[in-house]
C-alpha cells in the first residue's frame, strides 16, 4: 500500500492520533511476519511481510506546534529518524534538470536491491563491536535521560543502515564491524540535533517557552541582553514579568547566568 499526502499536517494531527492512526504505525513498526486486519467490507485480511515506511518533510516549529507532548512521548519519536538542519544558506530559485544518466543508474540499482532476498549474518567482529557500542549507548542514555525518547531504538537503525550500505555497495549479505562503524557515524551526524528537538516535542507548553529562550540565546552566540531577548519574545505574548520568571528559573537550574550590571545580560552555562 502507498499513501501520499500533500501536506504533513493532514497526516500528523490530533484527530488522526485519537483515531489510532499513529498507534497503528507504532504497533506495526516492528515489521511482523504476519498480521490479521479486520475490515468493514472484506472481513479479516491477512497481511504478510510487513514493513512500514514514512518519508516527510517539515520544520521543527511545525512539529512543536502540531504534536502534543503526549503524542510525541508515546513512542513515535524513537521510531522516526529525524534529519535536522538549521536554516540553509542555499538560494536556488529553480532546480536544474535531473541528470538522466544518474537517474537511470539509480533506478537500475534500486531494482537490483529490490530483487535480493535472504537473511544477513553478523561476523564475530561485528558482534563484538555491537556489544561495545550498546554498552556505551546505554551509559549515554542513563546519563542523559532526556535523549531516551528519541534515541532509544538507535541500535536498530544502526543495524538497518549497515545492511543498506552493504546492499548499495554490492557487498555480501554480511554485517561487518566496518559497516557498523560507518553506520553509527552516519546516524550520529544526521541526528545531531535530535535530543534538542525531542526535548521540545515532549515538553509541556511552559517547558517549550524555556527551550525557545535557551535556543535564542544559543543562536546569539551564547549571550544576549535583556532588550534583545524581550524583543525576540514579545511576538509570543511574553511580557516582562513572564520573561523574568522563566529566566530566573533557568538561572536556578544552572542553565544560564544572569549578569545584572548596568544592563541585564543572559549567558549560557
Inform me whether the pLDDT recorded for 269 exceeds 60.
Answer: yes
If one compares 2 and 17, the residue with the highest pLDDT of the two is 2
pLDDT digits (tens, 9 = 90+) for 71-98: 565 677 788 887 776 667 778 889 889 8
pLDDT digits (tens, 9 = 90+) for 143-201: 887 778 778 889 999 999 999 999 999 999 999 999 999 999 999 888 776 766 666 66
Instruction: Report the pLDDT value the prediction gives residue 15, as an integer from 0 to 100.
Output: 60
Average pLDDT of 40-47? 85
Quick one: cell of 129?
A: 563491536
Inform me whether the pLDDT recorded for 212 exceeds 70.
Answer: yes
If one compares 56 and 180, the residue with the highest pLDDT of the two is 180
- Is the pTM of the predicted complex or chain greater than 0.75? no
Q: CB 246: neighbour CB atoms within 10 A?
A: 20
Question: What percent of the chain has a predicted confidence (pLDDT) above 70?
Answer: 82
Helix (H, G, I), strand (E, B) or coil at 167: helix
Calculate the dihedral angle through the C-alpha atoms of 188, 193, 194, 197, rounding to the nearest 10 degrees. Answer: 180
E-assigned strand segments in 16-56: 34-38, 44-48
17 band by pLDDT with thresholds 50, 70 and 90: low
If one compares 69 and 192, the residue with the highest pLDDT of the two is 192
Separation of alpha carbons 115 and 128, rounded Å: 31
Separation of alpha carbons 111 and 139, rounded Å: 40
Amino acid at each position: 500500500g502507498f499513501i501520499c499526502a500533500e501536506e504533513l499536517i493532514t497526516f500528523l494531527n490530533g484527530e488522526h492520533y485519537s483515531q489510532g492512526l499513529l498507534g497503528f504505525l507504532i504497533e506495526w513498526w516492528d515489521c511482523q511476519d504476519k498480521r490479521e486486519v479486520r475490515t468493514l467490507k472484506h472481513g479479516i485480511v491477512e497481511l504478510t511481510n510487513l514493513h512500514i515506511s514514512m518519508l516527510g518533510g517539515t520544520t521543527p516549529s511545525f512539529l512543536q506546534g502540531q504534536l502534543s507532548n503526549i503524542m510525541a512521548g508515546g513512542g513515535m519519536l524513537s521510531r522516526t529518524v529525524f534529519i535536522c538542519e538549521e536554516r540553509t544558506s542555499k538560494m536556488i530559485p529553480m532546480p536544474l534538470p535531473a541528470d538522466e544518466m544518474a537517474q537511470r543508474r539509480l533506478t537500475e540499482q534500486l531494482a537490483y536491491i529490490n530483487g535480493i532476498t535472504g537473511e544477513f549474518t553478523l561476523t564475530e567482529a561485528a558482534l563484538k563491536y555491537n556489544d561495545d557500542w550498546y554498552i556505551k549507548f546505554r551509559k549515554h542514555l542513563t546519563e542523559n535521560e532526556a535523549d531516551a525518547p528519541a534515541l532509544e531504538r538507535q541500535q536498530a537503525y544502526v543495524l538497518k543502515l549497515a545492511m543498506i550500505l552493504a546492499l548499495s555497495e554490492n557487498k555480501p549479505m554480511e554485517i561487518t564491524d566496518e559497516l557498523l562503524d560507518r553506520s553509527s557515524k552516519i546516524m550520529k551526524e544526521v541526528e545531531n540535533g535530535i535530543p534538542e528537538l525531542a526535548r521540545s516535542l515532549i515538553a509541556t507548553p511552559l517547558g517549550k517557552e524555556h527551550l525557545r529562550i535557551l535556543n535564542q540565546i544559543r543562536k546569539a552566540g551564547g549571550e544576549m541582553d535583556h532588550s534583545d531577548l524581550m524583543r525576540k519574545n514579545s511576538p509570543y505574548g511574553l511580557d516582562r514579568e513572564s520573561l523574568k520568571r522563566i529566566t530566573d528559573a533557568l538561572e536556578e537550574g544552572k542553565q544560564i547566568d544572569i549578569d545584572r550590571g548596568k544592563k541585564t545580560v543572559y549567558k549560557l552555562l
